[in-house]
Amino acid sequence: MVEVDVLVVGSGFAGLVAAIEAATDGASVLVIEKMRAAGGNSIISDGGFAALGEQDSPDLFYDDLVRAGQGLNQPELARILAENALDALAWSRGFLGVEYLERLEIFGGHSVARCYTARGRSGASIMRPLLKKLEELEVPIRYKSRLETIRTDTRGRVTGVLVRYGYDHADPAAGSGLDIKVRRGVVLATGGFGADVAFRTLHDPRLTAEVDTTNKPFATAEALIEAMRLGAAPVQLSHIQLGPWASPDEKGYGEAPGFADYIVFPRGIIVDPSTGRRVCNELADRKILADALLDVGHPCIGIADAQAVTQAGWNLDKGLRKGILKKFETLQALAEGYGIDSVELTKTVERFNSSVANGSDQEFEKPFLDDARPLQIPPYYGVRLWPKVHYTMGGLAINADAAVLDTQGNPMAGLFAAGELVGGVHGACRLGSCSITECFVFGRIAGKNAARSEIRV
Ligand SMILES: Cc1cc2nc3c(=O)[nH]c(=O)nc-3n(C[C@H](O)[C@H](O)[C@H](O)COP(=O)(O)OP(=O)(O)OC[C@H]3O[C@@H](n4cnc5c(N)ncnc54)[C@H](O)[C@@H]3O)c2cc1C
Task: Pick the residue whose CA is nearest to atom 53 on ligand 1.
Answer: 215
Spatial neighbors of 33 by CB under 8 A, at least 6 apart, are 10, 11, 15, 141, 142, 143, 144, 145
Answer yes or no: do 381 and 419 share one domain.
Answer: no
**Residue 304: its H or E element:** strand 300-305
- Has residue 457 been placed in a domain? no
- The CB density around residue 364, as the number of other CB atoms within 10 Å, is 17
Centre of ligand 1 to C-alpha 34, Å, is 13
Q: Give the residue whose CA is nearest to atom 10 of ligand 1.
A: 433
Three-state secondary structure along 104-162?
A: EECCCCCCCCCEEEEHHHCCHHHHHHHHHHHHHCCCCEECCEEEEEEEECCCCCEEEEE
Determine the pLDDT at residue 313: 87
Q: Whose CA is nearest to atom 4 of ligand 1?
A: 45
The packing angle between helices 13-24 and 434-452, to 10°, is 30
Same domain (yes/no): 169, 304: no
Nearest CA to ligand 1 atom 52: 45
Q: Which of 8, 36, 190, 442 to mutate to test the pocket of ligand 1 (most atoms within 8 A of CB)?
A: 190
Mutation test residue for ligand 1: of 35, 436, 437, the one with most atoms within 8 Å of CB: 436
Q: What does the pLDDT read at residue 1?
A: 78
Closest atom, ligand 1, to C-alpha of 190: 34
147 lies in the same domain as 81: yes
**How confident is the model at residue 180, as a pLDDT?**
98
Element spanning 320, H or E = helix 317-321
Question: What pLDDT score does 457 carry?
Answer: 60
Catalytic machinery residues: 286
In a domain, 267, yes or no: yes
Q: 134 and 23: one domain?
A: yes
Q: What is the pLDDT of residues 129-147, one digit of tens each?
A: 999 999 999 999 999 999 9
* CB-CB contact of 118 with 34 (8 Å): no
Q: Please name the amino acid found at residue 268.
A: G
- Ligand 1 mean position to 357 CA, how many Å? 41
Which residue has the least CA distance to atom 36 on ligand 1?
Answer: 190
Same domain, 110 and 180: yes
Structural domain boundaries enclosing 304: 245-385
Residues near 408 by Cβ (< 8 Å), separated by ≥ 6?
A: none
Q: How high does pLDDT run on average in the chain? A: 97
pLDDT at res. 298 = 97
Report CA(42)–ligand 1 centroid distance (Å).
Answer: 4
Last residue of a domain, one of 385, 420, 439: 385
The pocket around ligand 1, CB under 6 angstroms, is made up of 9-15, 32-35, 40-42, 44-48, 146-147, 189-192, 214-215, 218-219, 222-223, 253, 391, 419-421, 433-436, 439
Say if residues 442 and 15 touch (Cβ distance below 8 Å).
no
Q: Which residues of the chain have pLDDT under 50?
A: none
> What's the 436 CA to ligand 1 centre distance in angstroms?
9
Query: Do the Cβ atoms of 306 and 378 come closer than 8 Å?
Result: yes
Is 200 part of a structural domain of the chain?
no
Residue 218 lies in a domain: no
Q: How far is the CA of 83 from the centre of ligand 1 (A)?
A: 23
